[in-house]
Amino acid sequence: MTDSRPSESTDTPTGELIAGVRDGRIELFEQIVRRYQQDVLSVVCAMLYDRSATEDLVQQVFVNVYRSLDTFEMDRDFGPWIRTIARNAVREQLRKSARYAKRLETYANMLETSLIDETSTEESQQRMQASLDRCLDKLPERARTIVQLRYSARRSFDDIAADWKTSAGALRNLLSRTRTKLRECIEEDVARQ
Amino acid sequence: MSRVEELTFKLLDAEISDADTEELEQLLSDSAEARDEHLACCKLEAGLRGRLGSVDVAARVMAEIAAQPVSSGGETTRRRFRLLSLPWLRVAAAMVVLCGIGLLAHLWTRPPVTAGPPAFAGVRIANADPGVTVLSGGERRQATGELPLRHGDMVETAYMRVASLVYRDGTRIVLGPSTTATVGDPTGKETERKTIHLWHGTSTAHVAEQPEGRPLAITTPGAAAEVLGTRFRVSVDDAQTRVDVVEGKVKLTREADGASATVSRGQFAASAPTVEPVAAPQPPRVRDALVALYRFDEGDGGVAHDVSGVAPIADLTVDEPDALEWLDGGGVRFSDRAMFASSGPVTKLVDACVSSNEISVEAWISPSTTDQIGPARIVTLSGDTSTRDFTLGQDGSQESWPPPGGTLYSFRLRTTTTTENGTPPAETARGTVVADLMHVLYTRAHDGAAKIYIDGVERATHGVDGDFSAWASDFRIALGDEFTRDRPWLGTYHLVALYSRALSPDEVVRNFRAGPRG
């Protein structure tokens, strides 16, 4: 098989890890998880309004991968294969959510068709991420910090407000304005490319 | 910022109201431009979460697959992940409160930083608050989301923070604020038995039935409590180990000389270097400012009697007697939609609370499921779905079902500064509700400080300004549903008490220790 991913914590090729797990060395699967969990997360992030379920679904994807490992053909790329499993898991979850949601069917359908469609993910996602990086760098310090605290540290508005001695409402407004700026910035950046 | 953007961001932050959701849905269905704008916001959000969000699920995944064989030409055995959904019907119901040994002992015998064997201890942290850390293999990290623990891992909670440890069989141990505990056996030798060593702080345990000969053990530096099927809370103060048994039996043993006491329901025992463990009766429940009390020990019929002794008596009558199941030893289960309600306004409660501008609402309950929302009415003094003096309910996100993150306890209270609907509510964290016996107690003091305690531990703090002069005097009390019959709550009532003052934290613990039959 081929694997274009750079290794992270080890130089062991992914193919050898898979073979080892298949031979019963289950502990090697932990390296596979650590190597690909950010990839899976980027797919699972399409479940936008069900944020608390994100990590559960990432976990579920890897358990599914583990269960299906014998069906993986070693001459294929592992990355696309695992992302396909992730996309299927997201679709299933979104359908479940839509079935139970009161009025969000339209929203869930938009997500399913537009955010996790395979043909739109790879290249456009890379362009989007590159633009996002450039636009994040352009943000004022306070705006960049609130983004980091919300998305990286995953802190609540109330927690941040207590630290910053301001109101949670003011922080919500700040983050909303920041996201608007980011969206405009990314649109301009992509248009220039 | 456009209205579509504003509403979309609210949606993405999970802070959108029903009315705003309707408006957004309408905007999206009316305009292609709105849909494009909405989608652009979603793409940005996905980008931000994918770029900045970090996740480390390796430990959790490995814990889940550790017991599974690698598939050989087919799918491996499926396993369930939702431990909280395990039925509690087979659990021996009991509750114990154990208070541990002193601060000096804690300081002298500070838990060692263990290298941590790789074996998982069969327990995970579920719904950790911020401020919960795990020391594992010499590395300390924040516990976020759910995290499997290894033998020897040390869990520490910060001030006002809690962590719930959940075993595969549904046994649940809640570490209270400012608590330090080691999970399992650091040597890795004792892996068949559930063990927790409490160095300092408080914990409450709800223990499923354990295998014969392998009792769950909670130890402190000077004592040990062993149980085969019970629930108990462990606290460490600066002097002694104390066991408070609410239901069932627990054996408390002093480590130094093996002196022990068997502590039964309604009793407590203390152990210290100079105090030999002896079982003694619990102090009675708080009665000062008690206005109404329901014990649900009628055994049959359709009436829950107000046994407070405070006139006028406010008995509650059920509208669907067939939906009730009276339990041996006390308690009534709502297995289908039903509502206990007073026949008229409860003026003694309204008059007393309006006079004091304080209230405490206490409930010993066992929710049937963890997915009830509405809020599903547990205790309400209200007119319909939008007018009330107060409501204690079970609630969760309306975005999807089952509610993501689990459900919480919510308390709506009308004052001169809140709405007729009693909003904004005080709420515990998502995932607080479990389908198990729980002691829930809400207090609001005249200075506006409101708190929700669960099993004697403060789990939510809220400010409610204003006074009770806005209360309506014609509302009736109901249990199990709203008067409009569209907010049902299913579960078991063991005790409900209403007070016209805010109980102190010590009084809350006293009522918790007294148990549902106290």
Average pLDDT over residues B160-170: 83
What is the pLDDT of chain B when averaged over all its residues? Answer: 81
pLDDT of residue B353: 97
Nearest Cβ partner of B48 from A125, A147, A159?
A147
Q: Which residue has the tokens 């898991």?
A: A89
Strand pairing report for B216-219 and B195-206: parallel
* B172-175 vs B180-183, strand pairing mode: unpaired
| Nearest-CB residue to A182 (from B6, B44, B74) | B44
What does the pLDDT read at residue B32?
82
Lowest mean pLDDT, pick from A1-10, B199-208, B237-246, B406-415: A1-10
What pLDDT sits at residue B77? 31
Query: Would the pLDDT of B268 be above 90?
Result: no
**φ, ψ at B507 (rounded to 5°):** -70, -35
Pick from B99, B166, B64: nearest CA to B370: B166
Question: CB within 8 A of B48, min separation 6: which ones?
Answer: A132, A147, A151, A179, A182
- pLDDT, tens digit, for every residue of B37-50? 887 887 788 778 77
CATH 3.60.15.10 assigned to B118-281: no
Q: Which residues from chain A sit within 8 angstroms of residue B38, using beta carbons? A: 107, 110
Q: pLDDT band at residue B109, thresholds of 50, 70 and 90?
A: very low
What confidence tier does B64 reach under pLDDT thresholds 50, 70, 90?
low
CATH topology of domain B290-514: Jelly Rolls (2.60.120)
Q: Mark yes or no for CB contact A52/B430 under 8 Å.
A: yes
Position B393 pLDDT exceeds 50: yes
State the Cα–Cα distance between residues B427 and B408, nearest whole angstrom: 7
The CA distances from residue B224 to B6, B61, B236, in Å, are: 56, 33, 12
pLDDT over threshold 50, residue A56: yes
Interchain CB contact of A59 with B (< 8 Å): yes
Q: Where are the alpha helices (DSSP H) in B283-407?
A: 347-356
The pLDDT of residue B335: 82
* Residue B453 Cα distances to B213, B246, B292, B462, angstroms: 35, 17, 19, 12
What ipTM goes with this model? 0.77
C-alpha gyration radius of chain B: 24
pTM over 0.90: no
Question: Considering CB atoms only, which of A53, A152, A159 is closest to B54?
Answer: A152
A190 touches chain B (CB under 8 A): no
Residue A187 near chain B (CB below 8 Å) = yes
- Position B342 pLDDT exceeds 90: yes
Topology agreement, domain B118-281 and domain B290-514: yes
Domain boundaries, chain B: 3-105, 118-281, 290-514
Query: Mutate which of A32, A35, A63, A99 to test chain B, going by most B C-beta atoms within 10 A?
Result: A63
Chain B CB within 8 Å of residue A63 CB: yes
Three-state DSSP at B123 gives strand
Which positions in chain A touch B11 (Cβ < 8 Å)?
Answer: 49, 107
Of A21, A45, A156, the CB nearest to B70: A21
Q: Do B57 and A154 touch (CB under 8 A)?
A: no
Lowest mean pLDDT among B103-117, B140-154, B450-464, B499-513: B103-117
Partners of residue A38 in chain B, C-beta under 8 Å: 54-55
Contacts of B40 in chain A (CB under 8 A): 183, 187
Strands B476-479 and B231-236: unpaired
